[in-house]
Structure formats: structure tokens, C-alpha cells
Structure 1
Amino acid sequence: MKQKQAKAELLLLLAALFWGVAFVPQKIAMAHIEPLAFNAWRFFLGGLLLIPIVYWLGARREQVAMEEGSDVLHSWRKCLPGGAVLGFWLFLGAALQQVSLLYTTAGRAGFITGFYLLLVPVIGLSLGHKTNRWTWAGVALALIGLYWLADFSEEAQLIGDLMVFASAFVFAIQVLSADYLVHRYDALRLAAIQFLVCGVLSAIASLLTEQPTLQAAWDAAWPIAYMMIFSTAIAFTFQLLGQRNAAPSHATVIMSLESVFAVAAGWLFLNELLSAKELVGCGLMLAGMFVSHYGNHNGTHH
């Protein structure tokens, strides 16, 4: 069991690494292609890439479910409404996040995006989920960190930071929706539908508001390739497989390392340097995530 758990947690760590590093190609792509067009390519191609993975991982699980005589809610048709809802939230969150990279740095965007981990239990309150004082302490710490991280003298950067913050809210809603749906439908099919729907919505929005060209997509080919392969198909599959066997408290802490990987990748590949003040802000945000999840998994309501 310990070995199984260690393997699961390694998969989650790799997923967090792929997602953290992803802010670099996302930022680089903005020099070549418009934000919504970029999302259209990365999500639609990523969704297509996930379809063979669904069949590869799904065949065995379906056989087991059939043998046990359980009610299999795994057909594509049954997963379509839920996947479409998730695709809408993903489209909204990803659009805000991607546009924000025109104004702010990859590292900052990565850190502020991590705030969604704290927003999940807070928004969950309105759905009747329980929470405790540790969550509120974590949110307070992270908000102080966010205040330190925000640069009020740079108007353009502040606009970018606020857009990422809005995207974190949307991602929190998406996570709560996914949490409800994955217990009722096949998670990988939901994911593939979610990515395809998000890709189509991004394409429509791009055609309406941007001037997308094939040349721009070609110029941004390697960032698109990284996003569709590593950030979409592989990382999502790793997260799904990892969350089956990882301890929930460990899983959340590992996933929050995405923020740290984003800052490290921004420094390593884009020469983005954080000031001492910004580093303090990042530290407080990370501490807030840890405090919140430590409390949630050691509190009395479980």
C-alpha cells in the first residue's frame, strides 16, 4: 500500500511540475498568437489526444464494473452534459488566465492561480460543505500574501493580477463541479469532453474577437505542443490516476507546489526575478495553502 501511495504521489508531483512549467510556454506563446486562439488549439488538440487514453485506461475498468454488475455511467452520451458544464468553466477560467499573461509575469500568474485551492472550501460553504477556522486562517494568510504580491504602482500588471485572481475563482467553481461529477461519471471521458468543449468555445470566441491565422498557430507550435501533450493529456491523466491512491492531505499540498514550480520556471527560462516583497507575498500565499489544508485534514469535521 505504501508503495502504491508513493507512486501515486509521484504522479501528482509530476502533474504539478508540468502545470507549473506550463506558464512559461503560455507566456512565450503570447508573442506569436492571440490568447483565445492559443486556448482553442491547446484544448481541442489536447482533448483529441485524451480520447485514445480514455479507451486504453477505460477498457479494463469497464470490464471490472460489468463483472460486478454495477451501474456503469460511462458512455460518452451520459458524460456529455457534465463534460460540457466543466468545459464552459474551463473556457472562462483559461481565457482570463491566458489574457492576463499579456500584462503580468508567468511566476506571479502561477502563484495567484494557486489561490483556487483555498477558494474551493470557501465557495463549498454555499453548497453546504463544512469548513473550519484553519481554512479561514489560511485564506487570511494568503490574502495578505496576495496584497504583498500585487503591485499597485504598475497599473497594467495589476490588471493582469486581477484577471488571474478572477480566473482562480472560476477554477474553484470548476473544481467543485468536477468533484461532484467524477463520482457519478467516468472521469477521463468527462475530461476529454471538457477539453473539446473548451477548445470549441475558445475557437468561437477567438473568431468573434480576434484575427486568428494559421501562421500564428504555426509560430506558436511548440508552446501549443507542450500544452496539449504535457499540460493537458499527460498531467490530467497523472492527476486522475494519482488521486485514486494518494492521501488527500498529501495530494493537496503536492498540487499547491504548482505555484512554486511556476515561479522557478519563470526565473529559469524567462529570467523573471521576484523582489524580496514579492517573495514574501508568495511565501505567505503558500503558507496559507498549507495551513488551510493541514486544518482541513486534521480538523474535527471529518
Structure 2
Amino acid sequence: MKQKQAKAEVLLLLAALFWGVAFVPQKIAMEHIGPLAFNAWRFFLGGLLLVPIVYWLSSRRDLKAQQSDGAIIHHSWRKCLPGGALLGFWLFLAAALQQASLVYTTAGRAGFISGFYLLLVPIIGLSLGHKTNRWTWGGVALALLGLYWLADFSEQAQLIGDLMVFASAFVFAIQVLSADYLVHRYDALRLAAIQFLVCGVLSAVAALIVEQPTLQAAVDAAWPIAYMMVFSTAIAFTFQLLGQRNAAPSHATVIMSLESVFAVGAGWLLLNELLSAKELIGCGLMLAGMFVSHYGNHSGAHH
């Protein structure tokens, strides 16, 4: 079990890395294309990319033998459709709110407020009967403190943007808990593929209503869309779903919160955004939060 948990944590850490680096292409893409159209392309193409991967992996394993906590996991597309569609809806809502909020508020504030989903997951989880422990709460507290240090409050940001990011954090928390429930009952890769295709279609419909999407805009933003579709969508979200099978949901969110640290690192390396001493302290506190949660979960305190 410990080996399974370690593998799950590595997958979640890689997902956080790919998402963190994604802020660079996301930032560049916004110069060429609207947020909803961008989400439509990346999620729909990411979903299509995942379909052959699902069939390839399915041919390599005996699916009937796959069980989770004594419950057989369903592998038919038809049975996975309702759960995948639900995840796709939450993902569409969260991604749209987060992407659009950056029009109104600064990336620093958005980064900090997004971090609230760390706190929301165990809180919403408690109302669903999940158990958690003081190590996880300590890790969450340190990670939130780190996010606070990372954020830049010197810019006077508009309330509407802040509220949109907070709403997106709440929806992301629901998506994480929904995924945690579903991956123990349905095939994670099929859920992921359906989730992206549904999210892509919903984003496309919303883009046609709200924005004026053009094919030229998508061509201009081709490489950011390609990165997002392959690494940030097909690979990272799949790693999240596979990783969540064997990691506690509150622990998983602390690992995934490192996305912010990776985002700062990618901005520094690729966009020459320099880190201040305060920001470095923030990164350190977030890492400390991850290790505290890690220690608590491995000392056998949870469950």
C-alpha cells in the first residue's frame, strides 16, 4: 500500500508541475484568443487525445481483475458517461471563472484566492463524512500561509475578479471531491476523457455566445493550445485522477497546491519574472505544508 501511495504522490506532483508551467503558455495565449475559446480548444483536443490512450491501456491489462476497496471498477464508456459529464461540468465552470477572473484581478491575488480550495476540500469533505487529522490541517495552514506570502497585494484589484476566483476555488474543491468519489467506482481514464470532451463542448458553446472566436486566433495561439492539450489537460488531469485513487483527498490537494510554486518558478525561468525574498519564503512555507501533511499521512494517523 505504501508503494501505491508513493506512486500516487509522484503522479500528483507531476500534475502540479505541468499545471504550474502552464501559466506561461496561458499568459501568452491571452494575447491572441479569448479565455472560453482557449478552454474549448485545449479541453476538447485534450479529450480526443486521451481516447486512443484509453484503448491502448485497456488492451494491456485484465480489467475484470481491477478492484478498489473491494468494489469492482466499471470500465464501459456508457457507465462512465454520467460521472464524466458531471466532472466536465464542474471543470468547465471552474476553468471559465478562473481564466476570466484574470481580466479583472492580478495573478498574485488570483493565486492566493485559488489556494482557498485547499481549505475548502477538507471542510466540504467533513460535511460528506470524510475524516481528516491535525497533520493535514497543519499542512493546509502552512500552505495557505505560503500562498499569502506569494501573493502581491500592492495592486488594487477589483472585487469582481476576486469573487470570481473564490467561486472557481469553491468549484475546484467540489471537482476534487467528486473525482475522489468517482475514481473508486469508474475507470479513471474514461472519466478523464469524457470530462474533457464535455468541458470542451460547454466552453465552445459559451465562447460562441460570449466571445467572437475565430480560427485565426486559434492558429496564433497554436503552441500554447498544444502544450495545454497534451501536458496540462491529457496528462496532468489523468495523473490527478489516477493519483487520487491511492491518496487521501486532503493530502492530494496539498501536493497539487505546489502548482503555485512551479508557476512562480516557470515565470522566473521562462518570462524572467524575478522572485523577491518574500516570495521565496512563500514557496518554502508551501513546501513545508506538503511535508507536514506527508508526515501525518505516513505516520498512520489518517483513516
Deviation at 1:113, TM superposition (A): 4.0
Letter in 1 for 2:224: P
Aligned to 2:130: 129
- TM-aligned CA distance change 1:242 to 1:143, over 3 Å: closer
How far apart, CA to CA, are the structure 1 residues paired with 2:137 and 2:251?
20
Aligned to 2:43: 43
Deviation at 1:118, TM superposition (A): 4.0
Moved more, 178-187 or 164-173: 164-173
- TM-aligned CA distance change 1:281 to 1:238, over 3 Å: closer
User: With structure 2 as the length reference, what TM-score do the two structures score?
Assistant: 0.82
Query: 3-state DSSP class of the match of 1:211?
Result: coil
Aligned to 1:80: 81
How far apart, CA to CA, are the structure 1 residues paired with 2:298 and 2:4?
21
How far apart, CA to CA, are the structure 2 residues paired with 1:15 and 1:194?
16
Q: Percent identity?
A: 89
Say whether residues 1:168 and 2:169 are aligned partners: yes
Deviation at 1:84, TM superposition (A): 0.9
Contact 1:80–1:190 (CA<8 Å) still a contact in 2?
A: yes
Say whether residues 1:92 and 2:122 are aligned partners: no
Deviation at 1:58, TM superposition (A): 1.8
- TM-aligned CA distance change 1:249 to 1:93, over 3 Å: closer
Contact 1:118–1:138 (CA<8 Å) still a contact in 2?
A: no
Deviation at 1:160, TM superposition (A): 4.8
What's the RMSD between the two structures over aligned residues?
Answer: 3.4
Deviation at 1:88, TM superposition (A): 0.8
Unmatched segments (≥5 aa) in structure 2: none
The answer to which structure has the higher helix fraction is: 1
Letter in 2 for 1:203: A
Query: 3-state DSSP class of the match of 2:60?
Result: helix
Aligned to 1:236: 237
Letter in 2 for 1:32: H
Aligned to 1:21: 21
Q: Matches of residues 252-291 of structure 1 in structure 2 within 5 Å?
A: 254-291=255-292
Deviation at 1:273, TM superposition (A): 2.9
- TM-aligned CA distance change 1:4 to 1:187, over 3 Å: closer
- TM-aligned CA distance change 1:301 to 1:71, over 3 Å: closer
- TM-aligned CA distance change 1:167 to 1:226, over 3 Å: same
Contact 1:88–1:197 (CA<8 Å) still a contact in 2?
A: yes
Contact 1:20–1:110 (CA<8 Å) still a contact in 2?
A: no
Aligned to 1:185: 186
Say whether residues 1:154 and 2:155 are aligned partners: yes
Contact 2:111–2:147 (CA<8 Å) still a contact in 1?
A: no
Query: 3-state DSSP class of the match of 1:155?
Result: coil
1:34-65: per-residue Cα shift (whole Å, max 9, x none)? 10110011001101111101111123335544
Contact 1:111–1:263 (CA<8 Å) still a contact in 2?
A: no
- TM-aligned CA distance change 1:114 to 1:197, over 3 Å: same
Aligned to 2:199: 198
Task: Tell me the number of residue pairs that the alignment of Structure 1 and Structure 2 aligns.
Answer: 299
Say whether residues 1:224 and 2:225 are aligned partners: yes
Deviation at 1:116, TM superposition (A): 3.1
Deviation at 1:218, TM superposition (A): 1.1
Deviation at 1:96, TM superposition (A): 1.8
Query: 3-state DSSP class of the match of 1:92?
Result: helix
Q: Matches of residues 103-122 of structure 1 in structure 2 within 5 Å?
A: 103=104, 109=110, 113=114, 115-122=116-123
How far apart, CA to CA, are the structure 2 residues paired with 1:182 and 1:14?
19
